[in-house]
Structure 1
Amino acid sequence: MIPDDDPTRSLTVADPADPATTFVSLVGNTYAMLITGEQTDGRYCLIDMRVPDGGGPPPHRHDFEEMFTILEGEIEFTFRGEKHTVRAGSTVNVPANAPHFFRNVSGAPARMLCMCTPAGQDEYFTRIGTTVDGWDAPPPRLTDDEVTEQRRRAAELASAYRSEFL
Structure 2
Amino acid sequence: MTDPIPDDDLARVLTVAHVDGATMRHVAIAGDIYTILVSGADTAGRYCLIDMHVPAGGGPPPHRHDFEEMFTLLEGELAFTFRGETTTVHAGSTVNIPANAPHSFKNLGTSDARMLCLATPAGLDAFFLEVGDIVESRTSSVPKLTPEAVAARQTKVGSLLGKYRTEMVTG
- Equivalent residue in structure 2 for 1:153, among 153, 156, 171: 156
TM-score by length of 1: 0.97
Other-structure match for 2:98: 95
CA distance in structure 2 between the partners assigned to 1:28 and 1:92 by the alignment: 21
Give aligned-pair identity as a percent. Answer: 54
TM-superposed CA distance for 1:110, in Å, is 0.4
Runs of 4 or more, structure 1, over 3 Å off, are none
State how far apart, in whole Å, the 2-side matches of 1:15 and 1:136 are: 14
Question: Which residue, out of 132, 137, 148, partners 1:129?
Answer: 132
Which residue does the alignment assign to 1:49? 52
Cα separation, 2, equivalents of 1:7 and 1:87: 40
SS at match of 1:155: helix
Specify every segment of 5 or more residues in structure 1 that has no aligned partner in the other structure, as ranges.
none
CA shift at 1:105, angstroms? 2.3
Could you tell me how far 1:139 is from its partner in structure 2? 1.4
> Counterparts of 2:50 and 2:129 in 1: how far apart (Å)?
11
Q: What corresponds to 1:83 in structure 2?
A: 86
Contact 2:55 2:111 in 1 (8 A): yes
Per-residue displacement from partner, 1:80-106 (whole Å, max 9, x unpaired)? 001111100000000000011111123
Question: Secondary structure, in 3 states, of the residue corresponding to 2:100?
Answer: coil
Determine the C-alpha separation between the residues in 1 that align with 2:23 and 2:141: 19
TM value normalised by structure 2 = 0.95
CA distance in 2, matches of 1:109, 1:117: 26
Match of 1:4, as an amino acid? D
Shift of 1:28: 1.7
User: Which amino acid in structure 2 is aligned with residue 153 of structure 1?
Assistant: K
Q: Please report how far the alpha carbon of residue 54 of structure 1 lies from its aligned counterpart in structure 2 after TM superposition.
A: 1.7
- Separation in 2 of the partners of 1:140 and 1:76? 24
2:31 corresponds in structure 1 to 28
In structure 2, C-alpha distance between the alignment counterparts of 1:164 and 1:56, rounded to whole Å: 16
1:40 paired to 2:50: no
Partner of 1:9: 12
Aligned partners of 1:128 and 1:106: how far apart in 2? Answer: 26
Please state how far the C-alpha of 1:136 moved relative to its aligned partner: 3.3
Q: Which runs of 5+ in 2 are unaligned?
A: none
Contact 2:59 2:107 in 1 (8 A): yes
1:72 to 68, 72, 75: 75
Helix, strand or coil for the counterpart of 2:41?
coil
> Helix, strand or coil: the match of 1:125?
helix
Q: How many residues align?
A: 166
